[in-house]
Structure 1
Amino acid sequence: DRVAPETIDQSNESKRLEERQQALFSLYPEADPEDAVEKRLPAEIPMEHLGNRIHVKCLQLKLELEVEPIFASMAIYDAKERKKISENFYFDMNSESLRRMLVGHLPFSDI
């Protein structure tokens, strides 16, 4: 009752060849080029938001143990809508001594 794997492979290959479509793409009608192009409305012109403004200034980040540098990011969220309403802001609040240790390891540094 056991059949050699080679026999099964040959049988599968011959069945695939028997039922294979020669011109697969001829089964589908040719697409109209007008339908293939996505049409979009022109983008809105960016404008300055004149609503409320929030100014956040990070002055100090103090940890009990300064064993490694910390690079942080911050964003503003609308708690009621549960949505992010600002871009990400990245900052470095490390002490001068930690920054001096990193000089050779960072390709660039913010002022």
Structure 2
Amino acid sequence: MKFAAAHIKKNPAITMTELKKLAKKKKINIYPLIIGLAKNTLGMGRPKRKTAKKATAARRGPGRPAGRRGPGRPRKVADPAEAISNVLAHVRDLEREVVSLRAAMVKISDLAGRH
């Protein structure tokens, strides 16, 4: 990498093939990764992404605030006891619905059996 960095520092416009030819004379293998690392050590590399949060906020659009969850998603619950009570309440509601649907099925089967 020092070899590549030294030659890139001398000639920043050097191509990979030229660098490989120079390295081959010295019996050194040069790979694209080494060239990239050498450029990074010299400060010539690609800039890194700085703020990913700003990009997601921009995609979110002006209508939705930053902390808002998507449509159809339940609210975040901080208290686990409250979460459990919500689950139990939902189960009770489902049991009531099952009872009412069974009663409806009995009525339907009675009507179908009369004919």
Q: TM-score range by the shorter chain?
A: under 0.3
Q: Decide which structure has the larger Cα Rg and report it.
A: 2
Give the structure-2-normalised TM-score. 0.25
Higher helix proportion (structure 1 or 2): 2
Higher strand share: 1
Q: Which has the higher contact order (CA 8 A, sep 6+)?
A: 2
